Amino acid sequence: MTILSRRALLGASAALAAPAPAAFAQGAFPNRPITMIVPFAAGGPTDTVGRLIAQVMGNDLGQPMVVENVGGAGGTLGAQRVAQARPDGYTVLLHHIGMSTIPALYRRLAYDPINGFETLGLVTEVPMTLVARRNFPAANLAELVQVVRRERDRINLANAGVGAASHLCGLLFQKAIDTAVTTVPYRGTGPAMNDLVGGTVDLMCDQTTNTTEQIRATTIKGFAVTTDRRVPSLNELPTAAEAGLPNFEVTVWHGLYAPRGTPAPIAARLNQALVKALRDETIERRFAELGTTPVAAERATPEVHRAFWQADTAKWRPLIQAAGQYAD
């Protein structure tokens, strides 16, 4: 670990005491807009979380934080963009659980998926939901499983590419019912949702941040949440375990990153804005409506984020290796 990144892990107070690079010492950061890369298409759940956070962080930083969607290849293209960006604080990445699965799923990448980043703090934890087009011929999860098993050759399941949360969740679902179906990759589950609403794909497993409003509007059908307890904003949906699939559990988490080598005082300033944004009333309300919650302040630190990410990566690697399903 470099001295710079070790300082980044110390947080705001220690960073203030550390000698600051010239730009920061002059109070110059940020003196122009910051780009937040969202590694999935606009309109999807990562984008939704990213835009809410970027708006409030930008207000605190006194410069706009502008979201740029760099979708494709399961979120690796956007991550690569940030890993290879100048480490000056003007490019950050809002990514999800894929940061833990990509290192094992992708054996060839043009960037270092573990050491290419500074962690700036955890952001949210989001349940997932198993959803289907509105006229899918099943009234509950048990019926859905029967139909999928019977029609396995005709059913298709949308996802945002290998490494996406929807891919992971879809794999767990297929494993839980011991049935493989055709998967259809998109650049994000925003566009996949359009096709689900339009009825051109059958199923998807996606974050509540993308599915809650569509389930409520009955433009799609919700069958289960993938958490161990019900989600207040979608309380009518059973957990997968309650509905008969005990081994189908996954929660998505989001974190904020900067390129490796971003100066500690700049990383600390970004973390400070993130922590403040997570306590913002609009964010709390909007997140609650969408079935998610901002992480507690003590979890929105670079240290907790890195430790959590490392542990999660270690958890998924053997599972991915045992499944033998790689992106390449």
> Which of 260, 212, 274, 267 lies closest to 237, judged by CA?
212
Measured CA angle at 115 (ends 166, 102), to 5 deg: 20
Least Cβ distance, residue 164 to ligand ASP (angstroms): 3
Question: Pairing between strand 34-38 and 91-95?
Answer: parallel
In sequence order, the β-bridge partners of residue 225 are: 129, 239
What does the block give as tokens for 146?
A: 């029967």
Question: Contact with ligand ASP (CB under 6 A): which of 7, 8, 15, 40?
Answer: 40
Of the candidates 129, 207, 214, 226, which one interacts with ligand ASP according to CB under 6 A?
Answer: 207
- When the beta carbons of 129 and 271 are compared against ligand ASP, the nearer one is 129
What's the DSSP call for residue 239?
A: B
Q: Which CB atom, from 15 or from 67, has the smaller least distance to ligand ASP?
A: 67
Considering only residues 76, 183, 189, 211, which one is a binding residue for ligand ASP as defined by CB under 6 A?
189
Binding range to ligand ASP, per CB under 6 A, among 82-90, 159-167, 241-249, 299-307:
159-167
170 binds ligand ASP (CB under 6 A): no
CA distances from 264 to 16, 21, 238, 272 (A): 9, 9, 45, 12
Radius of gyration of the chain (CA): 20
Please name the residues in contact with 170: beta carbons below 8 A apart, sequence gap of 6 or more: 157, 159, 183, 203, 204, 205
Which one of residues 11, 30, 44, 89 is an interface residue with ligand ASP (CB under 6 A)?
44
- Cβ atoms within 10 Å of 40's Cβ, excluding its own: 34
* Options 25-33, 162-170, 195-203, 260-268: segment touching ligand ASP (CB under 6 A): 162-170
**Stretch touching ligand ASP by CB under 6 A, among 8-16, 188-196, 264-272, 311-319:** 188-196
Of 324, 263, 300, give the one whose Cα is nearest residue 124: 300
- Of 171 and 270, nearer to ligand ASP (C-beta) is 171
CA 289/CA 283 separation, integer angstroms:
10
Q: Which two tokens stand for residue 247?
A: 């081994």
Single-letter amino acid, residue 136: F
Q: Which of residues 47 and 118 has its CB atom nearest to ligand ASP in the complex?
A: 47
Query: Which of these segments, 81-89, 132-140, 187-195, 259-267, binds ligand ASP (CB under 6 A)?
Result: 187-195
Residue type at position 273: A
Span 78-107, contacts to ligand ASP by CB under 6 A: 96
> What are the helix (H) ranges across 71-164?
76-83, 98-105, 141-150
For the CB of residue 221, give the shortest distance to ligand ASP in the complex, in Å.
18
Neighbours of 183 (CB within 10 A): 18
Which of 206, 248, 259, 306: binder of ligand ASP (CB under 6 A)? 206
Choose the binding region for ligand ASP from 136-144, 164-172, 297-305, 308-316 (rule: CB under 6 A). Answer: 164-172
Compute the least distance from the CB of residue 101 to ligand ASP, in Å: 10
Residues 89, 28, 280, CA angle at the centre, nearest 5°?
65
Nearer to ligand ASP, 5 or 129 (CB): 129
Which segment (43-51, 76-84, 149-157, 259-267) binds ligand ASP by CB under 6 A? 43-51
> By the 8 A CB rule, do 141 and 240 touch?
yes
- For residue 93, the minimal CB distance to ligand ASP (Å) is 13
Among 91, 119, 166, 233, indicate the residue that binds ligand ASP (CB under 6 A): 166
For ligand ASP, the binding residues (CB under 6 A) are: 40-41, 44-47, 96, 159-160, 164-166, 188-190, 206-207
